[in-house]
Chain A
Amino acid sequence: MDLKEILRQKREDIVDRWFEAILSSYHEDARGPMRRTQAQFTNPVGFNFREGLEGLFDAVLQGMLPDTVTGFLDAIVRLRAVQDFSPSQSLSFIFELKKILRAAAGAELSGDPETADELVRLDGVIDDLALFAFDLHMECREKIYALKAQEARDMTFRLLQKAQLIAEHQE
């Protein structure tokens, strides 16, 4: 059977493992509530992570189109970008998928050269995904700094206006 087909059949299990891998970067005591992945609004972290990972998994198998992954990646990366992680920690969850896919494929297809090739191709897709994620992470960080600057500007806007230091809009 085709590797992708096998992985697709094991989707639930693979995403479970991936989800657990990402949870392991949180405090043990925070993981329980996060596992309530049905709770879209009262447990937005678990819900978004789970939904995001499912989407990413499907995208990886389809060879991934940038447009389809952005939303799913955003659901995860945007939050982790403001949590207490270094960039490498924040994004390492993506590489976990490589190990998980190998483990899932391993038992049934070990030694099959075609599978090995296919796995390497998937690795490439995952690497691309990581690069996208890196861009997004940076975008989020930059946004945070921009917001800090913007709030400072807003605070002084009226003062500047009063001092007639702000020119009227010229169309």
Chain B
Amino acid sequence: MSKLPKPAELAKVSYQLPKTGWMDTPVEFKPGMFCHGSKPKSLELVGFPNPREWRPADADWKLPENWKEIIIEGIADRLKKYRSFRLFMDICVRCGACADKCHFFIGTGDPRNMPVLRAELIRSVYRKEFTTAGKILGKMAGGRELTLDVLKEWWYYFYQCTECRRCSVFCPYGIDQAEITIIGRELLNLLGLNIEWIAGPVSNCYMKGNHLGLEPHTIVGNLEYMLDDIETVTGKRIKPTFNRKGAEILFVTPSGDLFADPGTYTAMGYLMLFEELGLDYTWSTYASEGGNFGFFTSNEMGKRLNSKIYAEAKRLGVKWILGGECGHMWRVLSQYMDTWNGPADFLEVPKSPITGTVFENAKSMKMVHVAEFTADLIKNNKLKLDPSRNDHLKVTWHDSCNVARGMGMLEEPRYVLKSVVNNFVEMPEDTIREKTFCCGSGTGLNASENMELRMKGGFPRANAVKYVHEHHGVNMLGNVCAIDRASLKALMEYWVPGVGVCGLHELVANAMIMTGEKERTTDLRGEPLPSVAAKEEKA
């Protein structure tokens, strides 16, 4: 009757894992480690193949009969299109230098999360199907048949990689697992094997202009709430414009910042900064998304979503584009946008109307990161700042992976940060800058159903935060990424309670003295300012 093990049996529980090699061990889907499968409607809206109801944990994935052919052809096609892919399939010597660099491997201890092995998941099939040695020698040459089990393994593990590129920093050949995951996910999408947390935002963004599916009036409404809050704090009513033709600058930011805390505080920061500068700029409801979840499905989808930014800049007749704080967004903008949808010759080389600085480094793609923009303002003394308003905060800085390793923006946010806060502490060297650890939730993995995965993947990051929290009293984790702001909150609550999460421009707005503002008593979150708190204590 009872299925409970007897105490003696319990004590004998053996943790020895199967001795079979990884190629022969089918993947086991563990709860908390994967996201819900994509819904048919999300795929249909953008014309992705094989829309249907399916559940990843089910045995039957409702694949088309010729699924194997589709994948093999897909690989062949991409080998021809991407030198990176062809090269990375051939040149790995399996030295193991990347193995312990992956936050998911560190947190899960699952060998298939070693970057080298994640790549071997595809490489083994590549060898079997595309190399002479693999065709003849099969397993001896490291080749293996593409089976349904292999396909499931791909799905499970390519949605356990955040394309953070940390492994590629340490690889002697520059093999980038992000590139392999990108292509792996493209292949899976040929069969409709996506996750809803990505597919939903993609279809939203395609139809409505942003991942969250905010319709134009909702965007305006959400901003109104922020404007109310700003008025409460500063006594100033700001009136931003939307879809305005003839503005000098188009501002595009991730929609996450319009929606949930603490991203909204960052958005309030932008609004206040631009108001104070008297910037001639406009928001757009059509191009209301800086981020690009399309990039997490296929190159083509990334391009389709990204096209709106230039198209809207052209329609509105702006001179250049200013971009908000985001991670993957800025890798896509830096390394893909101009190639996909450029040349943007209808725009001018970005020039700050306040300082006159010309952003030569963005002279072709014509988009400037708001941290670069603000760093330039501060350097030229264009802002009145009172960093003591942030004295209740001890801030540390999380370099967002893609901004660090896909763009190289490391100093600009630090310069801004040091100008607006008095208490800044760096995390240990091996966890920042180009060696920064991922939040564990990038590339569309910031769903809630995979919370365990996120907590494990974010553990190395949290561990470093915990160190500065315990040793230096750090209580705020700053960053320039919308996914970070959305996901680090949970990560901190689990691992390092007592540390909040904020964007750079929230801190800027807190410190910035606006002309004609009332005496501020609280920060943007409604928390009393340190000076006020001190007075209250005395009284």
Contacts and interface: CB of A to CB of B under 8 A. Distances in A.
Direct contact of A and B (CB under 8 A): yes
A143 interface: yes
Interface in A114-171: 140, 143-144, 147-148, 150-152, 154-155, 157-158, 161-162
A43 B225 contact: no
B451 A144 contact: yes
B460 A44 contact: yes
A2 interface: no
Given A24-B15, A82-B456, A144-B494, 16 more contacts: A27-B110, A36-B100, A41-B464, A44-B463, A45-B109, A82-B32, A92-B11, A144-B32, A144-B451, A144-B455, A148-B451, A150-B490, A151-B448, A155-B260, A158-B259, A161-B225
Interface string B429-465: 0110000000000000000110110011001100110
B13 A26 contact: no
B451 to A, nearest CB: 5
Interface in A30-60: 30, 33-34, 36, 40-45, 48
Nearest to A29: B111
* 9 A-B pairs with least C-beta separation: A30-B109, A44-B463, A33-B100, A25-B15, A29-B111, A26-B109, A148-B448, A82-B452, A82-B455
A140 to B, nearest CB: 8
B105 interface: yes
B448 A41 contact: no
A44 B437 CA distance: 12
Interface stretch (A12-20, A62-70, A83-91, A100-108): A83-91
Is the interface on chain B under 10, 10 to 19, 20 to 34, or 35 or more residues? Answer: 35 or more
Contact of A158 (B100, B225, B431): B225
B489 to A, nearest CB: 8
Contacts of A140: 494
Contacts of B467: 40-41
5 contacts: A29-B111, A34-B109, A89-B15, A148-B448, A161-B225
A103 to B, nearest CB: 16
Report which residue of A78, A84, A150 has the largest number of chain B beta carbons within 10 angstroms of its beta carbon: A84
Contact of B460 (A29, A41, A152, A157): A41
Interface string B54-94: 00000000000000000000000000000000000000000
A151 B490 CA distance: 8
Instruction: Identify the interface centre among B99, B106, B261: most chain A CB within 10 Å of its CB.
Output: B106
Nearest to B108: A83
A6 interface: no
A28 interface: yes
Contacts of B99: 33
Contacts of A150: 490
B49 interface: no
Nearest to A30: B109
Nearest to A45: B106
A147 B225 contact: no
A45 B109 CA distance: 9
Contacts of B463: 40-41, 44, 48
Name the prevailing secondary structure of the A interface residues: helix
Nearest to B461: A44
Contacts of A161: 225
Contact of B452 (A26, A29, A144): A144
Given A28-B17, A34-B109, A158 B260 contact: yes
Interface of chain B, main secondary structure: helix
Contact of B494 (A30, A92, A147): A147
Given A48-B463, A148-B448, A148-B449, A143 B13 contact: no
Contacts of B408: none
B33 interface: yes
A155 B459 CA distance: 24
A147 B453 CA distance: 13
B508 to A, nearest CB: 23
B493 interface: yes
B534 interface: no
B172 interface: no
A25 B13 CA distance: 10
Contacts of A147: 448, 451, 490, 493-494
B33 A154 contact: no
Contacts of B109: 26-27, 30, 34, 45, 83
A41 B430 contact: yes
A45 B110 CA distance: 13
A89 B111 contact: no
Q: Kindly name the residue among B11, B33, B463 whose own CB sees the greatest number of chain A CB atoms within 10 A.
A: B463
A43 B260 contact: no
B495 interface: yes
Given A34-B109, A143-B494, A158-B259, A44 B15 contact: no
A167 to B, nearest CB: 15
Contacts of B431: 41-42
Contacts of A40: 428, 463, 467
Nearest to A95: B11
A26 B106 CA distance: 11
B342 to A, nearest CB: 34
B493 A143 contact: yes
Given A78-B495, A144-B451, A30 B110 contact: yes
A88 B111 contact: no
Contacts of B452: 82-83, 144
Contacts of A27: 17, 109-111
Interface in B92-127: 99-100, 105-111, 114
